[in-house]
């Protein structure tokens, strides 16, 4: 008639301790590989725990004020183009350590963002990763004075934050250099609106390789825009280009389609490279698009590892980390 006798659903550490004939304290230490005890005792406890299928209650653990084994991912990319690869990378490392990820999609809605962030803080997340669909825009919420570490991925953070972005300059350089190496001499760049930071970075990298012959066409991020520019280039007085580096895959697909319709052969007459390596577009283009992949998954992985390190109290130098892009070769050049 003494001691807790609850026959609840889950086995608690109390049950393990009782079964192993030790105290709760010893059981806890045995399972966490801390404290001093005979190797034999430790082993016995572990075995009993495994046998009973014991899994520690994360709530109780979290209550002690230590880790909650939980991180939050904030994003305004409801479409998922960037978020899901990122997400896959983020949870890759953490899940092995028992860490789960809260995904919060706030859609440029400051109030919604606040609700989500508050909920995350209530749940004592170990850290937050902020991510967006556009590198040069901040999320509509201030994360700078939170009690938990914050890491930015694919979105702009405050100056002293840890930020992960893809190395668009390197990716663009490789793409253009690849065109050059294929013997292309007149290479133009068709890309998005000048107001995007990534547009500027990519354009500068293109310019650095091409020099003064550089020719940049800004406009919408759409297939239609690809058609438009091709029409202008081929119907104009100047010699049309033999290489086209596009700011994203949608433009590139428009370009390739427009060229095919004009009877211009890709890649024989003109080589085309896209950016984003959006499988659904790049692979369906005829011919399939060579494109720059931003390695979002890897980016997510790094961000996940970093926020975990910060949560564990490790020091991480603030600054912007550029992760390399990779040129994915297909038949368009």
Residues that bind DNA (CB under 7 A): 4, 6, 8, 10, 12-14, 21-26, 28-29, 31-32, 34-38, 41, 54-57, 60-61, 63-66
Binder among 18, 58, 180, 197 for a copy of itself (CB under 8 A): 58
Residue 9: other Cβ atoms inside 10 A:
5
- Among a copy of itself, DNA, none, what binds residue 78 when CB lies within 5 to 8 Å by partner kind? a copy of itself
Q: Around 65, how many Cα atoms within 13 Å sit in the side-chain half-sphere?
A: 0
Angle, vertex CA 204, rays to CA 134 and CA 232, nearest 5? 90
Choose the binding region for a copy of itself from 22-30, 78-86, 175-183, 198-206 (rule: CB under 8 A). 78-86
Q: How many CA atoms lie within 13 Å of 326's alpha carbon, on the beta-carbon side?
A: 9
Asked if 59 is part of the footprint of a copy of itself (rule: CB under 8 A), the reply reads yes
CA–CA distance, 245 with 3 (Å, rounded to integer): 74
User: Which is nearer to DNA, 15 or 276 (by Cβ)?
Assistant: 15
- Which does residue 222 bind out of DNA, a copy of itself, none, counting CB within 5 to 8 angstroms by kind? a copy of itself
Give the span between the Cα atoms of 79 and 205, in whole angstroms. 28
Exactly one of 11, 28, 41, 105 binds a copy of itself (CB under 8 A); which one?
105
Which of the stretches 113-121, 153-161, 163-171, 212-220 binds a copy of itself when contact is defined by CB under 8 A? 113-121
Q: What angle do CA 197, 153, 321 make, to 5 degrees?
A: 80
Cβ neighbours of residue 60 closer than 8 Å, sequence gap 6 or more: none
Residue 2's binding partner among a copy of itself, DNA, none (Cβ under 5 to 8 angstroms by kind) is none
- Cα–Cα distance list, 10 to 6, 13, 17, 57, 258 (Å): 10, 10, 14, 9, 63
Q: Which is nearer to a copy of itself, 54 or 178 (CB)?
A: 54
Answer whether 264's CB lies under 8 Å from 242's CB: no
Positions touching a copy of itself (CB under 8 A) are 9-10, 55-60, 62-63, 68-70, 72-73, 78-81, 83-85, 87-88, 91, 95-96, 98-105, 107, 112, 115-116, 118-124, 147, 222-224, 250, 253, 257, 261, 279-281, 284
């Amino acid at each position: 008639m003494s001691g807790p006798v609850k026959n609840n659903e889950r086995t608690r550490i109390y049950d393990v301790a009782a079964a192993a004939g030790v105290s709760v304290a010893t059981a806890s230490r045995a399972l966490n590989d801390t404290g001093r005890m005979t190797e034999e005792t430790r082993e016995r406890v572990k075995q009993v725990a495994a046998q009973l299928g014991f899994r520690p209650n994360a709530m109780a653990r979290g209550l002690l004020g230590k880790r909650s084994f939980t991180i939050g991912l904030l994003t305004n990319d409801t479409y998922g183009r960037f978020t899901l690869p990122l997400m896959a990378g983020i949870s890759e490392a953490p899940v092995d350590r028992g860490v789960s990820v809260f995904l919060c999609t706030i859609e440029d809605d400051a109030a919604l963002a606040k609700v989500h962030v508050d909920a995350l803080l209530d749940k004592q997340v170990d850290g937050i990763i902020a991510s967006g669909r556009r590198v040069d825009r901040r999320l509509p919420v201030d994360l700078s004075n939170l009690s938990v570490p914050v890491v930015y991925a694919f979105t702009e953070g405050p100056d002293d934050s840890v930020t992960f972005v893809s190395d668009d300059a390197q990716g663009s350089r490789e793409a253009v250099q690849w065109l050059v190496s294929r013997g292309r001499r007149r290479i133009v760049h068709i890309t998005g609106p000048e107001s995007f930071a990534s547009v500027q970075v990519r354009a500068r990298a293109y310019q650095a390789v091409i020099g003064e012959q550089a020719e940049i066409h800004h406009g919408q991020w759409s297939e239609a825009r690809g058609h438009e520019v091709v029409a202008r280039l081929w119907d104009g007085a100047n010699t049309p280009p033999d290489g086209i580096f596009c700011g994203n895959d949608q433009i590139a697909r428009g370009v390739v389609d427009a060229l095919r319709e004009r009877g211009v052969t890709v890649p024989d007459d003109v080589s085309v490279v896209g950016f984003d390596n959006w499988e659904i577009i790049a692979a369906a283009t005829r011919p399939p698009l060579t494109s720059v992949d931003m390695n979002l998954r890897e980016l997510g992985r790094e961000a996940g590892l970093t926020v975990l390190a910060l949560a564990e109290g490790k020091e991480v130098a603030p600054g912007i980390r550029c992760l390399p892009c990779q040129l994915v070769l297909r038949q368009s050049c």
